[in-house]
Amino acid sequence: MAGTTTSYCTSAKAEHYSVAHNFLAQTTATASSTSSTSYTSVSSLAGIAVGMSFSGTNVGAGSVVAAITSATAFTSSVASTGTITGGTLTFSGDAFKMALVKASPTGTYGAATVNYTDLTGNSDEVSGTGYTATGTALTNVSPVVSGTSAYVNFSPNPSWTSATFTTTGCLIYNTSVRLGGTSGTNTTGGGRCMSVYDFGGSQTVTSGTFSVLMPVASSSLAVIRMN
């Protein structure tokens, strides 16, 4: 039956074991480099993982952390473009987004949903004033462990302003490409869906504000968690 069912996507569960998603929050560190792929004297590597993109003055375009080589050094996929002496680098985890499902969708969205393109393939994404196709960006809050549970969340909550549209649910998906091969109908591997949420019926907003309030980050309530 067409519609949305609140679910943690089964494909996403499997992808966690393939390191296909990085929820780490944006973080900064200082480091040095001299026109090479080697970065040394890193102030802290806490919260930095292989595969994270990073930027800064004289950092090569498209740089990602290729390997962590010591407690204070890493190598980059791209050489620095000049001398960096104690420069500030900004590291980012994967870029997640939330897309809204239109009223009376033709497709079915739930645990079996694999990719954002499942939504667009059915022409089921919301369209309307104040809504941009692909949805809104989410800001990662780094994973937290509580007891035997691990959970992640996003803050601030996704919001649309000057908005006129009707929606029945939403998808959280990863725009970053970490895993090759196909993902649903997307052959580039991007857009892997994390979870689907039902809004409990059609929700209409007119020339106003629409916010999705995610549950608080706790081991029993967080929006994405493994117990």
Is 62 an interacting residue with respect to another protein (CB under 8 A)?
no
Beta carbon nearer to another protein, 24 or 170: 170
Under rule CB under 8 A, how many of the chain's residues touch another protein? 39
Give yes or no for a contact between 136 and 33, defined as CB atoms under 8 angstroms apart: no
Q: How far, in Å, CA of 174 to CA of 182, rounded? A: 14
Beta carbon nearer to another protein, 37 or 203: 203
Is 73 an interacting residue with respect to another protein (CB under 8 A)?
no
Work out how close the CB of 115 gets to another protein at its nearest, in angstroms, rounded to a whole number: 17
Work out how close the CB of 153 gets to another protein at its nearest, in angstroms, rounded to a whole number: 8
Give yes or no for a contact between 82 and 58, defined as CB atoms under 8 angstroms apart: yes
Give yes or no for a contact between 126 and 194, defined as CB atoms under 8 angstroms apart: no
Is 157 an interacting residue with respect to another protein (CB under 8 A)?
yes
Work out how close the CB of 218 gets to another protein at its nearest, in angstroms, rounded to a whole number: 5
Residue from the set 161, 182, 187, 188 that interacts with another protein by CB under 8 A? 161
The three-class DSSP label of residue 25 is: coil
Beta carbon nearer to another protein, 156 or 180: 156
Work out how close the CB of 226 gets to another protein at its nearest, in angstroms, rounded to a whole number: 12
Give yes or no for a contact between 69 and 52, defined as CB atoms under 8 angstroms apart: no
- Whether the bond between 156 and the residue before it is cis, its omega within 30 degrees of 0, is yes
The one segment of 36-44, 85-93, 112-120, 151-159 that binds another protein by CB under 8 A? 151-159
DSSP for 77-135, written as a single string: SS--SSEEEEEEEEEE---EEEEEEESS-SSEESTT--BHHHHHHTT-B--SBT--TT-
Phi, psi of 52 (to 5 degrees): -75, 140
Q: How far, in Å, CA of 81 to CA of 16, rounded? A: 34
Beta carbon nearer to another protein, 76 or 195: 195
Instruction: Kindly identify the residues of this chain, within the stretch 167-226, that bind another protein according to CB under 8 A.
Output: 170, 195, 197, 199, 203-218, 221, 223-225
Instruction: Kindly identify the residues of this chain, within the stretch 126-145, that bind another protein according to CB under 8 A.
Output: 132-134, 136-137
Is 166 an interacting residue with respect to another protein (CB under 8 A)?
no
Q: How far, in Å, CA of 33 to CA of 73, rounded? A: 10
Site of interaction with another protein (CB under 8 A): 6, 8, 132-134, 136-137, 153, 155-157, 159-162, 170, 195, 197, 199, 203-218, 221, 223-225
